[in-house]
Structure 1
């Protein structure tokens, strides 16, 4: 349901638009009303075999309406919607069971039979999930269900590193679900010729500018360097790119670039991607949000972090607990963003049981979604439990969720061996150290409200949390320049200006603004510029070591 690059519509809408039953330009459409004809078109195209056909086609129709798109997607995903939201969609009830989910998938498969392409379900970077108890069997079980129920027009792709697969299949040698895998594709290592091609493509833009032209397509690198570091004459693309970058830095005389210097650039790049894709808190399920928060607390060294705290409750996956590092008190957390007021009431009932049993010193309820009318039973329970000490409510800001999702994605990449930071491919434990050392979570408002990170301005139990202040553009540009120079060692000023303009395209930055910050950094002896004094763009810039400032 995400929007691909260079497209104005989501992948789901692009697929929907390709269906013949979606289009109707007749006079009937204007007479009877668009929704009526839309549903009738689909019903006539698929007269049998569609589960909850009226609800399903109604959801597809509302997915085409900009104001209802997210709501329709929430219903299709199985979100527990409130009565008022269901009424907008013209649907009686939410999807609430595994049987519902399976049948909706079956519906999509049947509709996809008349589309140009099948529906691809890609489970990427699942190595982290496989580390959990029954992780791989659960994932393979989803594939088996699709096979056994004969859901058509689906392609299921499971992507993980070979070591994970071998370890898991050794752990579960009799796993019957393996028989439902039609094909296993192993990505072999590449040859030296293929490795050279990677270097050629990377160096080509520089060679085009060079005068005279280099004799070798990979100059200043050599094939001998590849041979030294490629046992058996084969290697992997990531290693080739890392090696090339390292050798270039050595030739430039900038030496080894510290991994922690490069990490901030990696974090900023991923954080920016998350900001663009995660536009509302409910894009992540409540169980995912609780899991992400537990992972971050564990990474920060918070004692006794336990995901799934509310034993015996349907909100088990929404909860976690930990020992507060400053007070040594046991903290319980329930994070519920379900819009359904019935779900809200039951979650408050679960909280009441925990409080009465004295199972924790402090219970924290996290929720951004509305609480409904003050007359609702759920709202009254909420007021009773969380209106004073020691228990409290926190209203999370979207910015805090961006922090949690960014860390989750980097952790998945590190677990699957796909994360590259400078010359290194840090494993999860190394990533955790990099995150802690970098201090990237120091501006996470949610962690401040939990008291994990110092926040002198925290006013305690107020529901409304102000938006994080936007840093001054000059400060952001300055920080970006320093990160680039630290990670690269030596850079051409023109290249640096262009990359900075691309990074800050949303604030109408100009060349002179970047030059101004570069000159300020030079005056403060953070950097030094060398080269043609008449044209700053012909100069190069390098970082001044700390002991020489």
Structure 2
């Protein structure tokens, strides 16, 4: 028999705020067991009704979903995808970093989402979409796989005799999707990667999708063909971190231009969902032309939840703990009570996040006692746990640098520089309208201006134009030092881009070419994800919802970026600082081809154990062991137990009780329970 009191004291707080942060629904797994079906059920039904209309008449429609921070907008998008994915293809579009390339951004994330496999499916959305075309249904899929490319293209051109942009190449690339060996390369072309000549030749195409016009027309191809398949749902979310206008406002007009174009071009079978914070819309609505606002077919508000629904949120979180208890608690919300909700929210309404945070504070008080629970929380420790969880997700998702576009990589680096307060930052450094967004400059205190550009396009033609822009920047004395960040190759001697590169980055110049590691990109991408969440009001640390200023403070104060080798190579982190926190930022990292094999280090694991205790104050030993092994897959439970013993001997933590059974032991910080 195990009492509920003991279980609660041993467990990770079920309302841990690290679980609050939502995001891209293809990368953030939602636990259906934590859903309360009645919450925002009217929103789910209304969007489902609109989707059914699109499926019936194939006319594109747009839904605006709005609500306050903490209302659950991003979580609702995830629920919609999970519930309605059998009826539609779902696309999540991250905030776009530049308005001038918004169509290429939308196309990239459309294909990135279509290559995802829905839960329970053996094939990606893209292959499901392709195989649902009438051309595949005629004579069976096997005969089409065995047929030649030209026959396949002719058949599709006969099915779609007009309205398809670059039909021969587009249909030819669709054919390459059938071949497992060419499938990845075909996806790269469809998403707009700027491929090299060899890759283009393999796909039998002349050009990559290099312009906004081409990207828009390829996306239109998907729309025109989609009329005979399931609808495609485009979800725009976290819009507070999209590209900004010259006066610093978010460029919602650019997004609404895309939406209007989808309608005006009569692209069929799209459902566009725009998810936005109510206050953000109120502040920026007058910046969007009325002709574009009327393209919103339906507006759906996310309303506060009732106290009954708040109780249901508590029940969903506490249920796993209650199931372990013998005897079972009389109340499914124990140790939480309805009375606390009524006292806290006398109006009878709140938001899901508020209910979660209230539950967290009460559970924490129950674990360690009211007096200890009132002590200031260790926010840095809590932030490091949030960071680690996001870092692990990013490592799983980003397996090569070129998954991210040049504007995205540049934006990530700029955001990191801003957080580290490296000096005055100016966007768009390179004197080239095409590649300006791939660059920025900054001026450290009492030093000359430093220019930085980042591009990973494998095309050597593109490389030449970039190097030419760099040459112009040097000749115009736009900076004293110039960095090129590029992991991709630069060709061979005799290539024009190669020759320019060697001139600009010769040993007798101050300029440098840095080759970033994938691991460094994981740092930048993790911070970027948290920046998106902070602007959207979706990141909670130690009971506080962080804005961008608070997030930047945590980044500096936690030293979490100190092991990012790219930042060190750029000179914005000192070698001394990197040595002092060796291993901290490399928590749970995996090796990649550009770095030495990762060796497990006890220090980050011990830091993690202490951060867990600082955040939760009291935990079961076995819970700590299992949680740590879940984060550091290269170590065993025995090794973690040895580290706990070592920390205990060093008086950095204490084990409560003499019971030799680890499952019965509690662990806490010295003086925590005194």
SS of structure 2 residue aligned to 1:239: helix
SS of structure 1 residue aligned to 2:619: strand
Provide the residue aligned with 1:292 in structure 2: 412
The answer on 1:75 being equivalent to 2:189 is yes
SS of structure 2 residue aligned to 1:414: helix
Q: How does 1:52-131 map to 2 (within 5 A)?
A: 52-115=166-229, 117-129=230-242
Kept in 1, the 8 Å contact 2:449–2:480? The answer is yes
1:29 and 1:196 map into 2 onto residues whose CA distance is 55
1:308 and 1:228 map into 2 onto residues whose CA distance is 53
Q: CA deviation at 1:51?
A: 1.6
Q: CA deviation at 1:377?
A: 1.0
2:382 and 2:410 map into 1 onto residues whose CA distance is 29
Closer, same or farther in 2 for the Cα pair 1:9/1:498, shift >3 Å? farther
Provide the residue aligned with 2:539 in structure 1: 419
TM-score by length of structure 1 reads: 0.91
2:135 and 2:575 map into 1 onto residues whose CA distance is 56
1:237 and 1:137 map into 2 onto residues whose CA distance is 31
Q: CA deviation at 1:80?
A: 2.5
Provide the residue aligned with 1:510 in structure 2: 636
CA RMSD of aligned residues (A): 2.6
Provide the residue aligned with 1:193 in structure 2: 308
Provide the residue aligned with 2:384 in structure 1: 264
How many residues are treated as equivalent by the alignment? Answer: 537
Kept in 2, the 8 Å contact 1:286–1:337? The answer is yes
1:280 and 1:346 map into 2 onto residues whose CA distance is 24
Unaligned runs of 5+ in 1: 459-464
2:408 and 2:251 map into 1 onto residues whose CA distance is 15
Q: CA deviation at 1:214?
A: 2.0
SS of structure 2 residue aligned to 1:72: helix
Provide the residue aligned with 2:90 in structure 1: none
Closer, same or farther in 2 for the Cα pair 1:126/1:93, shift >3 Å? same
- Cα distance per residue 1:487-514 (max 9 Å; x no partner): 1111122322332233234x3x433222
Q: CA deviation at 1:522?
A: 1.2
SS of structure 1 residue aligned to 2:424: coil
1:376 and 1:227 map into 2 onto residues whose CA distance is 73
Highest RCO, 1 vs 2 (Cα 8 Å, sep ≥ 6)? 2
Kept in 2, the 8 Å contact 1:333–1:363? The answer is yes
Closer, same or farther in 2 for the Cα pair 1:14/1:455, shift >3 Å? farther
The answer on 1:151 being equivalent to 2:267 is yes
Kept in 2, the 8 Å contact 1:493–1:537? The answer is yes
Kept in 2, the 8 Å contact 1:122–1:157? The answer is yes
Q: How does 1:156-167 map to 2 (within 5 A)?
A: 156-167=272-283
The answer on 1:385 being equivalent to 2:500 is no
SS of structure 1 residue aligned to 2:542: coil
Closer, same or farther in 2 for the Cα pair 1:466/1:47, shift >3 Å? closer
2:123 and 2:259 map into 1 onto residues whose CA distance is 28
Q: CA deviation at 1:442?
A: 0.3
Q: CA deviation at 1:36?
A: 4.1
Deviates more, 1:128-137 or 1:234-243: 128-137
Unaligned runs of 5+ in 2: 1-111, 579-592
SS of structure 2 residue aligned to 1:440: coil
Provide the residue aligned with 1:495 in structure 2: 623
Provide the residue aligned with 2:483 in structure 1: 364
Kept in 2, the 8 Å contact 1:242–1:422? The answer is no
Provide the residue aligned with 2:648 in structure 1: 522
